[in-house]
Amino acid sequence: MVEGTGSIGQNVLNTLNQRTQQNFKLTDTNESGGLDKNEVQVRAEKTGQGQK
């Protein structure tokens, strides 16, 4: 292993974790701590992903 590269992986994980949390907060509109069916359906309609 190359010296001094250990923090790069940690930085990548931290960045991904922050982005995931931000996306989740935007989607969880009623702040229930989870996504209910209505929130998932709205997300699917906005992004065009999932089944219709």
Its pTM stands at 0.35
In a domain, 3, yes or no: no
Q: HEC profile for 7-35?
A: HHHHHHHHHHHHHHHHHHHHHCCCCCCCC
Is residue 52 a part of any domain in this protein? no
pLDDT for the residue numbered 18: 82
Q: Which domain holds residue 41?
A: 8-47
Position 26 scores a pLDDT of 60
CA–CA gap between residue 21 and residue 15 (Å, rounded):
10
Q: What is the pLDDT of residues 4-51, one digit of tens each?
A: 566 888 888 888 888 877 666 666 666 666 667 676 666 666 666 555
Task: Tell me which residue has tokens 């001094």.
Answer: 4
What domain count does the chain have? Answer: 1
